[in-house]
Structure 1
């Protein structure tokens, strides 16, 4: 998916390629006599051809300065029209095929699509109106010329209006879906809180009452019992009941209290994690690319857990190794890679026995919960690599953070 959005990450390269294509197309069309090129070109014709190429290359700036691009192409078209008539300085080989460059169609698209404010839109419509007059040449009435000119300058703005409306609709639907997700999550939290309060009330009303009765009866038995063994057993039963009441009271308090948020650090804590590893004798280097805000909170916490578990395994099983931590944030995914070199020493057997051996398994299960994938295994050079691909956005309510 990220490869399909390459053009969004490299707009300058895309605009340069488009400008070159239109420049070559207009130059080829001119040289083949499809427009103003004379039968016997002179110096003026070649100068105009170079000026046309430069005017078409201004499409590189169609996003940042769309009105400037329209002005340059409009000025060139007007200059060619005036040189042909009334100045008669240029005589086309085919007088009926004097059209504006193909680049004018794309240039007319920019002011409408990239003019986001109402004031910019009004200015864009005014400039495009003048641009249409230059391209259609109404002072030389011709049905074909006027029709082609209107098509050259109208198709672009119409497409811009369509794509702008589509973009606004997608943004509105996305915002509505995210708002509905947040509301669903809040409702789920409210339902959980109400259920916890109900369970706490049930435990307080039923279990506490019964245990209190047991404590009272044990206390009465301790007083009325005739032999020492019975009194001692009753005292032990009473003490155990009192302890159970205290523990039950604490449990009821926990149930009635809303659970705290997940305290697992976000990717902001990766630098501290790597610094701690270096201070503990395992040199680690962190490289982050992209914007951290592209990752939703659940994915951010999962990223932190992956790096923490991988560094823990290096400490236990690869003493003296160097670690490289790489995190890439993209629009649609987050990629985490933790790679260590060959260990310089033998691992401590007592330290390795402290682990459960289920770290990677638990990590893979957590990654799968957010619809990601995890790969962990040895490298050809003798090191070890933990790599995970995670979606950039995962709704909080759908994942176990």
Structure 2
């Protein structure tokens, strides 16, 4: 649908209607003796009347050829003037009339509004005014009326052209102010990200680093093999947390330049980690993992990681079945666990923000996927994510 009023969207149709109106108006005024029409018209008068109609019809192209319209009407007016005097072949019934048709008023509007070369427009209008006013046969009435016919149009053109430029300047100023507000908001967000990154780095990184060092020391000094193994797992988990925290701090400080989260190739490692900590986990992959684009693979990895973490927290003793299906259109990930054999471990269940599933749903919606999570009829729990197989990114284009 086009915007704007009808007359702006159909300018040529409007000009055709104006041209037809002036043809009828000038023809009628000429026949009633308001212009150059003789008292006893002959063949030449009728020919000139037809020529006047054609000259008035040229107003239809006043937007595309404004100087041509002025030239056509000027030539016609000059021809009528020369036929009256000095040729004397036309004798007007009222010699005090203005010979130029009324269409000259509209024609004089075009050169200053539609013509880029103002110097040429002024010269054409000056010549046109002389022809209409007939200063070689001075008459106060004729010269005044003729001047008004050729001056009103240019004055209106100058007014509307100035108004149009003023409106454009105001629009550009508003757009520039909007861009500046956007840049200021972006700068404020960047500063806030940098502040948050600094606080997170100072507070969290320090505490996690201490935990990693203490776990490493415990591994070295402990005589119990199970304790050393648990300390090593704690140290490895802390190192991984520091790595992820460093990536998160980088994202907060600047616009993310890349995501180091593993993709679908890391599913086996997650399952192995789950099995290693005592949660029986089975992975089944159907289809070609290469069909999943990088951003989809990373999103699916996060879903699986969060689901396995929740099983360890809230469903101890449960058995987990992971199924991933790849096809050309979508990637479907299903994580389903059996009913737990014991109650939730309070030390683990109380950790975290409790918003893991909600954050995953927001992340999945960014790639136009869906997430369903809820209890099963057998007492277990199911997480099912459906993602598009391909999400266009600059990384995928490399």
Band the TM-score falls in, shorter-chain normalisation: 0.5 to 0.7
Residue 184, structure 1, aligned to residue 184, structure 2: no
* Distance across 2 between alignment mates of 1:260 and 1:235: 32
**Structure 2 stretches of 5 or more lacking a match?**
259-328, 334-360, 367-398
* Distance across 2 between alignment mates of 1:233 and 1:199: 33
Residue 81, structure 1, aligned to residue 87, structure 2: no
The partner residue of 1:142 within 139, 143, 151 is 139
Q: What is the deviation of 1:71?
A: 1.7
Aligned equivalent of 1:27: 27
* Distance across 2 between alignment mates of 1:170 and 1:127: 28
Q: Alignment partner of 1:201: what SS?
A: helix
* Distance across 2 between alignment mates of 1:78 and 1:253: 80
Aligned equivalent of 1:18: 18
Taking structure 1 as reference, are residues 176 and 246 closer, same or farther at Cα in structure 2, changes over 3 Å only? same
Aligned equivalent of 1:208: 205
**Structure 1 stretches of 5 or more lacking a match?**
262-350, 364-401
Q: Which stretch has the larger CA shift, 10-19 or 55-64?
A: 10-19
Q: Number of residues paired by the alignment? A: 267
* Distance across 2 between alignment mates of 1:234 and 1:4: 72
Aligned equivalent of 2:252: 255
- 2:81, 2:99 within 8 Å by CA — same for their partners in 1? no
Max Rg structure: 2
- 1:105, 1:156 within 8 Å by CA — same for their partners in 2? yes
Aligned equivalent of 1:4: 4
Q: Which stretch has the larger CA shift, 152-161 or 93-102?
A: 93-102
Taking structure 1 as reference, are residues 180 and 70 closer, same or farther at Cα in structure 2, changes over 3 Å only? same
* Distance across 2 between alignment mates of 1:254 and 1:115: 54
Q: What is the deviation of 1:231?
A: 4.3
Q: Alignment partner of 1:4: what SS?
A: coil
Taking structure 1 as reference, are residues 98 and 220 closer, same or farther at Cα in structure 2, changes over 3 Å only? closer
TM-score normalised over the length of structure 1: 0.60
RMSD: 3.0
Taking structure 1 as reference, are residues 41 and 259 closer, same or farther at Cα in structure 2, changes over 3 Å only? farther
Q: What is the deviation of 1:17?
A: 2.0
The partner residue of 2:235 within 235, 238, 241 is 238
Taking structure 1 as reference, are residues 193 and 131 closer, same or farther at Cα in structure 2, changes over 3 Å only? same
Q: What is the deviation of 1:197?
A: 2.2
Query: 4+ residue runs of structure 1 moved beyond 6 angstroms?
Result: none
* Distance across 2 between alignment mates of 1:148 and 1:199: 77
TM-score normalised over the length of structure 2: 0.60
- 2:98, 2:145 within 8 Å by CA — same for their partners in 1? no
Taking structure 1 as reference, are residues 3 and 192 closer, same or farther at Cα in structure 2, changes over 3 Å only? closer
Q: Alignment partner of 2:204: what SS?
A: helix
Question: Residues 2-401 of structure 1: matches in 2 within 5 Å?
Answer: 2=2, 4-116=4-116, 120-225=117-222, 230-259=227-256
- 1:99, 1:145 within 8 Å by CA — same for their partners in 2? no
Q: 1:41-94, CA deviations, whole angstroms, 9 ceiling, x for partnerless residues?
A: 221111110010011111122222222211221121122223233333222233
Taking structure 1 as reference, are residues 6 and 252 closer, same or farther at Cα in structure 2, changes over 3 Å only? same
Q: Which stretch has the larger CA shift, 179-188 or 139-148?
A: 179-188
* Distance across 2 between alignment mates of 1:260 and 1:245: 19
